[in-house]
Amino acid sequence: MNELKIFGQCVRSPIGCWSARHRCCRVCYEQVFSIAFEVFGSRKKAQRWLVRSVVGAGRQAPCWVLYTPMGFTIIHDELMRLDHGIRA
């Protein structure tokens, strides 16, 4: 299983690049997708899980929850529960 990785704070992006917020969310999404891929065993199942509502995420889709400051932690914890067979 992947370890939780902290890359550091996002810095301001130069003009014409992705916003700092978008880059932060993209990194979170890629990390969560990587973990989901390992948990579910396929790319398609991981992608499907990321867009469906999840009870542990307040019945929201994980890809939307990642935009909140605590979202990554909530989704990461939910994946860890699933990986260990603990259902919500």
User: What are the tens digits of pLDDT across the range 27-75?
Assistant: 788 889 999 999 999 999 999 999 899 888 889 888 888 877 788 899 9
65 Cβ partners below 8 Å, 6+ apart? Answer: 54, 57, 58, 71, 74, 75
What's the pLDDT score for residue 78?
Answer: 93
pLDDT for residue 44: 95
* DSSP string covering 42-77: SHHHHHHHHHS-BGGGTSB-HHHHTTSTTHHHHHHH
pLDDT tens-digit map of 8-33: 544 444 444 445 555 567 778 888 99
- Both tokens assigned to 31: 């990390």
Q: What is the pLDDT of residue 66?
A: 81
Q: Provide the CA 62 distance to its chain's centre, in angstroms.
A: 6
Q: How far is the C-alpha of 16 from the C-alpha of 38, rounded, in Å?
A: 34
DSSP 28: H
pTM over 0.75, yes/no: no
